[in-house]
Every structure is written in structure tokens, then in C-alpha cells.
Amino acid sequence: MATRAAIAKRREGGWIGVYHHWDGYPTCLGAHLWDLLHNRYAGNMGRLVTDVIDAHPGGWSHLMDGNICKPVPGGQALTTEVIGQGPACYCHTYAAADYGDNVIHGCECGNPAITEPSCDPLFIEWVYVFDTDRNILEVLTSVATHTRPNGKTGYQHWPVVTIPGHIKDVLWDQIEAAGRAIKESFWNLKAQECASR
């Protein structure tokens, strides 16, 4: 399922990351990132960030193993023809389709005055922010938080959990449930706001 996410690294004043298209929810992408960190990268968060984010500015169709489909050269599209299995980034695996840069240059979604934040919290449902200085992973989810001046619902990324990097066993199903509960509580507040008008 196309649950869109961002895989990011902490920087002063926020984060910067790359787009991830498929299965971005915690029990899939979150668990896979954590497995990579503790197995392939032996806990070295800096190496994971370099390989997964910095080396792939085009972002990911899927970082997990999955179908690799034949790209349409120059069309920013894929066919239904499966040509392989494995992870698939847009900058290397699908370079022929010319998807371009999928770097998300920050997150200003907490500011209601910004109508189109670069982190696009309406569509980027989950964000995984690696903080290599503090050796932690922050998991964020998108929530409906306010009504914009144009009357449309505004969205922003909201913290769900911060996980210390040394912890190997994480209950990703509970993190996903907590994120969904946060989303629901914000929708309930929006419903109350609408009902009181």
C-alpha cells in the first residue's frame, strides 16, 4: 500500500530527508530501518544515514525487498512488468524514468501561515528522523491540526515516539497504534471545532 513517508536526518532547526513511497508505516518501514541499523550497520547510525539518505537524493520507491518494475524512460512512470526483486530507489534503480530529486528540504508545517510546507504533511504520513548526535530515532505522524485562513484543514507532523539507538527490540505495532490514536484525537478535536461553529 502506498503509505508515503520520509526518511530523514536531524539538522539545526529541523530535519532534511528523502521521500519513501510504499509501506511507510512503522510496522513495515520503521521496523525495516531499525533492522538495518542493528544488523547491516551494527548500530552505526551515521553510516545508515549516509547510505540511505545522502547517497539516494532521488528517494525510494521501497527500501524493503519488493518488486522492481520496468521504468518508462523519461516518463516518470513504471510499467507493470516486474524485472527484479529488491530495494528500489528513484535515483539509481529507476534512473531511466527521470524522477529527479525527492529531497524534502525541511519541515515548516508547524507554522499555520505556511500554506505549502516542503514536508507536505497531508501526504507524508510518517517521518523517521535519525539524530546521529544524540543516537536516537524520532517517529512523527501527520495530523489535522488547524483550519487555514482559506477554510481548508491544515496538517502538520506530530511526534509519536523517540527511540534510543541502543535499544534493539522495539514494539513497532504499539508505535503504529499510538500514531493512529494521535491522528484520531486530532480529528476528534477538528470535529468539535466544526460542530461549535
CB proximity list for 55: less than 8 A, separation 6 or greater: none
Residue 196's pLDDT band (cuts 50, 70, 90): low
For the four alpha carbons of 105, 22, 91 and 123, in that order, the dihedral sign comes to negative
pLDDT bucket at 195, cuts 50 / 70 / 90: low
**Cα–Cα distance between 109 and 111 in angstroms, integer?**
5
Strands 153-164 and 136-147: antiparallel
Q: Pick from 91, 108, 98: which is nearest to 54 by CA?
A: 91
pLDDT in the model for residue 197: 58
Mean pLDDT score across all residues of the chain: 91
Pair 67, 80: CB distance under 8 Å: no
The torsion region of residue 25 among left (phi > 0), alpha (psi -120 to 50) and beta comes to beta
Q: Is the pLDDT of residue 173 over 80?
A: yes
Please state the domain extents for the chain: 5-195
pLDDT average, residue stretch 141-148: 82
Beta strands in the chain (DSSP E): 5-11, 14-20, 60-72, 77-89, 103-104, 126-131, 136-147, 153-164
- The pTM for the full model equals 0.92
Average pLDDT, integer, range 138-150: 84
For the record, the C-alpha cell of 68 comes out as 522492481
Query: Would you say residue 106 has pLDDT above 90?
Result: no
* Residue 64 vs residues 19, 43, 60, 164: alpha-carbon distances, Å: 14, 18, 10, 22
pLDDT for 189 equals 66
Instruction: Note the pLDDT tens digit of each residue in 43-92.
Output: 999 999 999 999 999 999 999 999 999 999 998 899 999 999 999 999 99
Residue percentage of the chain with pLDDT more than 90: 71
Asked if the model's pLDDT at residue 126 lies above 90, the reply is: yes
Quick one: cell of 24?
A: 511507510
Say what the pLDDT of residue 153 is.
Answer: 78
**Residue whose C-alpha is closest to residue 104's, from 136, 138, 59, 137:** 59
Q: Tell me the per-residue pLDDT of 176-192, one tens digit each, with 9 for 90 and over.
A: 999 999 988 876 766 56
User: Residue 184 CB: number of other CB atoms within 10 A?
Assistant: 11
Q: Residue 190 has which C-alpha cell?
A: 477538528
For range 101-111, the mean pLDDT: 86
Question: Higher confidence at residue 51 or residue 121?
Answer: 51
